Chains A and B, each alone.
Chain A
Amino acid sequence: MARPKIARKSTIVDMTAMCDVAFLLLSFFILTTKFKPDEAISVTTPNSVSSKAAPEKDVTLVTITKDGKVFISLNNDAVKQQLAEELNESAGANLNPTEVKEFVKASFYGTPLSQLKSFLALPKDKLTDANLPGIPAKDTANNEVVDWMRYIVTAHSKTGDKFNLIVKGDNMAKYPQFKNVITAFKKADQFKFQMITNPEGIPTGTDLWRKFMKGEKIEQ
């Protein structure tokens, strides 16, 4: 009996296409990943069930470290420029044009107003929360955060930019520090602010969880 010969097919598959896909994905992921900027101020934020993303534009961020030091940072250069002029005019900061440029470039501010000049002269690697005194917010009598908030509010109203006030506190920061910051907000007539937190799941069996399960909109 003569059987017809079955042609033997090679089992080798051309891997080129798959290889292309793999590296395409790899390069896509690498290029789209945004690296977390190395933060000079280290803060571990608490968790909350809030799922609303924090705003990233036009942010005025007030950071409270675990030692209770207060730092302020802004990310809108136009507002920073205006703020520098505001400080020159009203607070007697006396910054010359090069210092104003440094002021706009600085990522955060963390000294009493009187030391602002020497703060701006500091090299980048010295700008850490351990090295800096922070903005004084110890008590109501000597609360420079109030002044800063007032100038920032004026600067924002002059440039016409949006004003997102955000507090980023460390887990271990004490409440009195936070209270002083809130008091400063109140004094500057800012009654609305947000607190940066890490997302966490809604505990099961709670009222919010029931609402969530029913598909109702959760207001934050």
Chain B
Amino acid sequence: MAEMDTSGGGHKKKGPGVKKAKKASTRVDLTPMVDLGFLLITFFIFTTTMSQPTAMKLFLPKDTDNPEEQNKAKESGALTLLIGAKDAVYYYEGQLDAQASNFKTSTMNQIRSVIIDKKRSTPETDLVIIIKPSDEATYKEVVDMLDEMTINDIKRYALVDILDIESQLIKATEGSGGAQ
């Protein structure tokens, strides 16, 4: 402990004229040091961020030119999500019709309800979600969308290249101020 043996062992008694030196206690109050120690611990704990990055898996399909080998999606169960610029998401169910009347606009925050609606109204074996990011989409939006699939527990989804007609539609919608 923080004391030392200060008794002078085996000294002869000093003469009568010699004053005894006052024995100062060597005991130190350690309270401030404990305070400091715990202060540093709390400081380090609070400033440390647990930076263990996580990873999400993605499996890619093999590219095949042979249409026989390609996965087919039932039209009634398909939902196509197009990711535009600045969080805008466009979607249509089934096939895009000639007048693009089923082409709808949404945003990244509201798309979840669209996905949930589709999931509730479609038998699970038929449900396929097709994600088509446009050239304006950022990596974050793509990852968010893939994450949305995990969040809504979608079993079948695919990341597919956008078609020209679809990117033109997005441009037209953006141009007309359909999405901010």
- List residues of A whose CB falls within 8 A of some B CB: 14-16, 18-19, 22-23, 25-26, 29-30, 33, 36, 45-55, 64, 166, 169-179, 182, 185-186, 191-199, 202-203, 206-209, 211, 220
User: Is A186's CB under 8 angstroms from B63's CB?
Assistant: yes
Looking at A22, A49, A54, A194, the one whose CB has the most chain B CB atoms below 10 A away is A22
User: Is B150's CB under 8 angstroms from A208's CB?
Assistant: yes
Main secondary structure of the interface of B (DSSP, over half): mixed
User: Is B137's CB under 8 angstroms from A182's CB?
Assistant: no
User: Is A48's CB under 8 angstroms from B150's CB?
Assistant: yes
User: Is B56's CB under 8 angstroms from A170's CB?
Assistant: no
The 4 closest A-B pairs by CB, nearest first: A22-B37, A15-B30, A54-B55, A194-B55
In the complex, which residues of chain A have a beta carbon less than 8 angstroms from the beta carbon of B40? 26
Q: What is the bound-complex CA distance between A29 and B44, given in angstroms? A: 8
- List residues of B whose CB falls within 8 A of some A CB: 1-2, 29-31, 33-34, 37-38, 40-41, 44-45, 48, 51-63, 83, 112, 116, 119, 133-144, 146-147, 150-153, 159, 161
Q: Which partner residue on chain A sits nearest B1 by CB separation? A: A16
B139 CB contact (under 8 Å) in A47, A175, A185, A191: A175
Q: List 22 A-B contacts (CB under 8 A).
A: A16-B1, A16-B2, A19-B30, A19-B33, A47-B144, A49-B150, A49-B151, A50-B55, A53-B53, A53-B54, A54-B53, A172-B139, A173-B138, A173-B139, A175-B83, A175-B133, A175-B138, A179-B161, A182-B159, A191-B59, A195-B56, A198-B54
